Structure 1
Amino acid sequence: MLPVHLDRTRAEPLPAQLAATVRRLVTDGTLTTGDRLPSSRALAADLGVARAVVEQAYDQLLAEAWVETRRGSGTFVASGEALPAPAPPPRPAARGPQHIRLDAGTPWIDPRHVAGWRRAWREVSATRPPRGYPDPRGLAELRDALAERLARTRGLTVEPDEVLVTAGSTDGLRQLLGALGPGGVLVEDPGYRAAVETVRAAGRAVVDHPALAPVTGLAGCAAAYVTPAHQHPLGRVMPAADRLALLAAARSAGAVVVEDDYDSEFRYDVAPVPALAALDQSRVAYLGTASKSVSPSLRLGWLVAPPEFHELLVRRRTITHDTPPWPAQRALLTLLRDGWADKVVRTARRVYADRAPRVAAAMAPHAELAGPLAGMYSTWLTDPASATAARAAARAAGFDLPLLADYCRTARRTGVVLGFGGVTDAELDRALSAITGGLAGTPARSPAGVPAGPSDQ
């Protein structure tokens, strides 16, 4: 008899269950073309159901051409010509070569520090999670640690209750945009692409503003999004006069300045530049992230909003439970408390301080440095053809090199944005050889197993 089980507790009718089982037996090869099925009387007796159940199932399979009848002989699995062709098994899309990204946001995390990372997650597993939904502001002990860190490293004095833990800087921006009044958002051009998409997703107009020009007016804008400590991606520090002009414009228009302080800890030429929010916390919303100092995959950040928006944000988070997962928050608390994050920052700062001059020495003969050397990337200005050639040469060598044009909307700047945080020293040397070869007009040779690919500008 057929290996069939009918479940009377299911909503699906018994004839439909039987027909589905026969189809499966055919497609998995248990039943093959020409196999004779049990008679309706015999199968009904074996299954303990009315004969009509089997007859209905057979009729359905006959109509679908899964089976055929032979006069006086019974019911058989249909011949190959009549049998419906089984759907081809789904196959994953073919993957192209996996390129190493030379992006501006992947940090260097020294593998020697892995023990601290593991210890943090062991503590998570041994700690009892909060009862019910967590505090909408974020884990209280983590906010204590973040407030201390902001005062120590950024000159920003805040109370722990003023800190909101977020799922990264773009999450903090998204939540803040939902609390602001009507109006567009001024965004530096070229600028951070994720911020642009976040503003658009919030249904607000993006107001392009030349990245290096002072902001003197914000009429019609609810906010201005800026990266004053290290303009993304041109690298300039916003001058003091421009900071004061921006704050004056925000006060005049009743707008909020959103300061994304994404990598200020990684200055190695001078001391870190103080946060813009330290000048006027009533007008500036401060966004920080653990992506550069801990790990991008942790997806944690923090927001210090102006007082007039703070309570509204907390109320909304209380209702929506729009807070990061508790285990990630608890792990970050351990990494901050044990000094692991400070150690990672110090190590990475030394690595970047060593790599930045090497990048500059290789690139300077072929391109113009857009801003001071700081952080984990540098931006180089070239003509469009040279930028495209550099990217193509990088791809041929197994690297993905961003173009400056990709960060522009109405701006007309061209060049490359060369990140050197997420690679080893050997990989950086290979990448620089390929890129400078492309800039010089010398084709880079592709390593074995990584075919050359065209530019995808």
Structure 2
Amino acid sequence: MLPVTLDRTSSEPLPAQLAGQVRALVLSGTLGTGDRLPSSRALAADLGVSRAVTEQAYDQLTAEGWLEARRGSGTYVTATRTPTTAAPQVTSRPTSPRFARSLPRSARTDEQARRSTSLRSSRPTGVTSRLDTGTPFFDPRLEPGWRRAWREVSVATPPPGYDDPRGLLELREALAARLGRTRGLELHPDEIIVTAGTTDGLRALLPELRPGPVAVEDPGYRAAAETVLTYGREVIDLPAVETVGDLGDAVAAYVTPAHQHPLGRVMPAADRLALLEAARRADAVVIEDDYDSEFRYDVAPVPAMAKLDRGRVVYLGTAAKSVIPTLRLGWLVAPPDLHELILRRRTITHAGAAWPSQRALLTLLRDGWLDRAVRSARRVYAERAPRVAEAMSPYATLAGPLAGMYSTWLLPETDARRARDAARAAGFEINLLSTYARSSGLTGLVIGFGGVTDAELDQALAALTGALAR
């Protein structure tokens, strides 16, 4: 029997309580890699709960990579925290070099230059809709609450001078409560710095790191890599689908563990622990971009990586995917030493997120609007993702689980370009996976489905599959 106790008087659901306690047993070393857990039926009987409770907890931990279900054998632990003095237990040894250093701007190949130019090009003539990774679904039924938030901004009294560089206290209190409830992070409001989005948080962090390169996932978030280069630091390409056992001389590693951008992979628990151990050995920080974390369809959202090591992880969040990108709001949680350095610089430079946006988001959080928006979008994405999969699976390979507001499909570059061009001719812009890659060489299509109507999605899929079938 597992040493767990469930509190039926708690507001936390029983499956979440059980999953949290099993996760804690793994992290403490009470459960080790290869240990077999009781069956869901046996554990339910021991705890006096329905089998659905234990099955949901096991499914959640399996999705996060802590457990593995072996058909006909049982459920086993697959990840254990490695002692800080030991080498990681999980390593990978690819045939290619682990890190490929980005070329200086002057030494880019023609192909790299072409990709860079294509990213800055304007929307092609005739394109009416973008099936991208950054445009969320906006439920028109929520428009009254949106308008009410901005009416409150219009009658609120703005600060007479520069506001607190940490952001509005009331907003930080609301964010602390939400991050505790949805991401498992227990925070004091003063630990949060409100930013003008994820890249603004990265811009605030980079000057405070010691000299050295920054590892960024490849393929990965293009704005992050460009921001690192802008600050005069070298970018090291961090393979997005491999276990990282060594960070070399990198001073930071930028990752999207909840929903890898753009492949959609959830970083397994063993890989999270290995990356944290590599960061400890390199005296580096892990920059967690909690991208697209709230939009899982099968299980609850995977807890934030920062929950595993608050002293090593810099946490970046954003309202771009749950509200709209143009709100330009995010939040940063850093270890105490970095927090003080960031806050000092922001105080001197009067940096901070726009007060009207902060005030509007406060109302959206207070009124429960944001929770309703996330639930509504999650239902839409859960319905649209299988439709995309049904259309694309005969022609391409899905790169990650169905989650979030887009899915990524692996296929040869020539096929991807032919399909992209057909969609463009039909009035839809779809991104090539190659534009997110630097040295990985992965190719395919990244198909977003948040910012279009159902009819537009069907039209775009018809154009894509028609080109691939030919």
Show the counterpart of 1:15.
Answer: none
Q: Does 1:352 align with 2:352?
A: no
Larger radius of gyration: 1
Per-residue deviation at 1:219? 2.6
Code of the residue aligned with 2:381 in structure 1: it is Y
**1:57-76 counterparts in 2 under 5 A?**
none
Q: Does 1:301 align with 2:300?
A: no
Q: How far apart, in 2, do the equivalents of 1:396 and 1:411 lie? A: 29
Code of the residue aligned with 1:257 in structure 2: it is V
Code of the residue aligned with 2:465 in structure 1: it is T
Contact 1:143 1:160 in 2 (8 A): yes
Contact 2:127 2:429 in 1 (8 A): no
Q: Which runs of 4+ in 1 moved over 6 A?
A: none
Structure 1 residues 366 and 254, CA, compared in 2 at 3 Å: closer, same or farther? Answer: same
Contact 1:362 1:436 in 2 (8 A): yes
> Which digits, 9 at most, give the CA deviation of each residue in 1:25-76, with x for residues without a partner?
xxxxxxxxxxxxxxxxxxxxxxxxxxxxxxxxxxxxxxxxxxxxxxxxxxxx
**1:108-119 counterparts in 2 under 5 A?**
108-119=137-148
Q: Which residue of 348, 352, 357 maps to 1:319? A: 348
Structure 2: which 5+ residue stretches go unaligned? 1-121
Code of the residue aligned with 2:469 in structure 1: it is A
Code of the residue aligned with 1:102 in structure 2: it is L
Per-residue deviation at 1:101? 0.8
Contact 1:138 1:164 in 2 (8 A): yes
Code of the residue aligned with 2:434 in structure 1: it is A
Contact 1:222 1:255 in 2 (8 A): yes
Q: Which residue of 374, 377, 381 maps to 2:403? A: 374
> Which digits, 9 at most, give the CA deviation of each residue in 1:316-350, with x for residues without a partner?
11111110110110000000110001000000000
Structure 1 residues 311 and 409, CA, compared in 2 at 3 Å: closer, same or farther? Answer: same
The alignment's TM-score, normalised by the length of structure 2, stands at 0.73
Code of the residue aligned with 1:338 in structure 2: it is D
Q: Does 1:191 align with 2:220?
A: yes
Higher relative contact order (CA 8 A, sep 6+): 2
Q: How far apart, in 1, do the equivalents of 2:337 and 2:283 lie? A: 12
Q: How far apart, in 1, do the equivalents of 2:288 and 2:397 lie? A: 27
Per-residue deviation at 1:117? 0.6
Show the counterpart of 2:392.
Answer: 363
Show the counterpart of 2:458.
Answer: 429
**1:155-234 counterparts in 2 under 5 A?**
155-234=184-263
Q: How far apart, in 2, do the equivalents of 1:385 and 1:189 lie? A: 21
Q: How far apart, in 2, do the equivalents of 1:202 and 1:265 lie? A: 30
Q: Which residue of 114, 123, 139 maps to 2:168? A: 139
Q: Which residue of 130, 133, 137 maps to 2:159? A: 130
Q: Which residue of 378, 392, 404 maps to 2:433? A: 404
Structure 1 residues 190 and 121, CA, compared in 2 at 3 Å: closer, same or farther? Answer: same
The alignment's TM-score, normalised by the length of structure 1, stands at 0.75
Contact 2:183 2:303 in 1 (8 A): yes
Per-residue deviation at 1:99? 3.4
Secondary structure at 1:402 match in 2:
strand
> Which digits, 9 at most, give the CA deviation of each residue in 1:135-172, with x for residues without a partner?
01000000000010100000011110000000000110
Q: Which residue of 309, 321, 333 maps to 1:292? A: 321
Contact 1:99 1:395 in 2 (8 A): no
Taking only aligned residues, the RMSD between alpha carbons, in angstroms, comes to: 1.2
Code of the residue aligned with 1:315 in structure 2: it is R
> Which digits, 9 at most, give the CA deviation of each residue in 1:184-212, with x for residues without a partner?
11111100111111111111110002110
Per-residue deviation at 1:94? 12
Secondary structure at 1:156 match in 2:
coil
Contact 2:127 2:425 in 1 (8 A): no
Code of the residue aligned with 2:313 in structure 1: it is V
Q: How far apart, in 2, do the equivalents of 1:429 and 1:219 lie? A: 46
Q: How far apart, in 1, do the equivalents of 2:191 and 2:446 lie? A: 35
Q: How far apart, in 1, do the equivalents of 2:154 and 2:310 lie? A: 37
Q: Which residue of 414, 420, 435 maps to 1:391? A: 420
Structure 1 residues 94 and 362, CA, compared in 2 at 3 Å: closer, same or farther? Answer: closer
Structure 1, 424-433 or 96-105: larger mean CA deviation: 96-105
Code of the residue aligned with 1:302 in structure 2: it is W
Show the counterpart of 2:53.
Answer: none
Show the counterpart of 1:417.
Answer: 446
